[in-house]
Amino acid sequence: MKKRQPLMLAPREHVHRGLPDNLMKFSFRLLQTTRKFGLEPAADAKRYLQQLLSRLQAISSLQVNEFRASKAKALRAHRHRWLATTEAQGFPSLSSEWDDHEAWQFQLSANEHGRVHGILVDEVFYVVWLDPEHRLYQ
């Protein structure tokens, strides 16, 4: 019987090429769409999506510590205080493995286009809810 060789992983391309590896990244793996959170409530879904992509692009140039510390009024990134929202239980349909991670939100533009809610783990923001009408606080 031939012995298997251990899998040799190549160095990450970002590291190998000297590209930034500590910038914000986005995952839509946890995205949940409901009547309250998703594109259905958006008055103008096309415009919301344009704003969403523009905001994701801008945030993708930030390091996680810059995102966390940002005081920019146009971004309004901050952790959730669930008891001050309409969803006091947080993200109820996520498995318990996500319970210990920080829930965050950011807005797409100053006083328009609502918010994006998710979980921040290391430099990855897992988008859970799109909130074009800012319903989490109504």
| Tens digit of each residue's pLDDT (9 = 90 or more) over 63-86 | 999 999 988 888 889 898 888 888
Domain boundaries, given as residue ranges, for the chain? 23-90+100-137
Q: For the domain made up of 23-90+100-137, give the CATH fold.
A: YaeB-like fold (3.30.2310)
- Cα of 54 vs its chain's centroid, Å: 14
Q: Is residue 13 classed as helix, strand or coil in its secondary structure?
A: helix
What is residue 58's three-state secondary structure? helix
Q: What is the pLDDT of residues 13-61, one digit of tens each?
A: 666 666 667 899 999 999 998 888 888 767 787 888 889 999 999 999 9
Written as six digits, the tokens of 127 are 């988008």
Q: How confident is the model at residue 125 (pLDDT cuts 50, 70, 90)?
A: very high
Q: Which of 116, 119, 59 is nearest to 133 (CA)?
A: 116
CA–CA separation, 28 and 18 (whole Å): 26
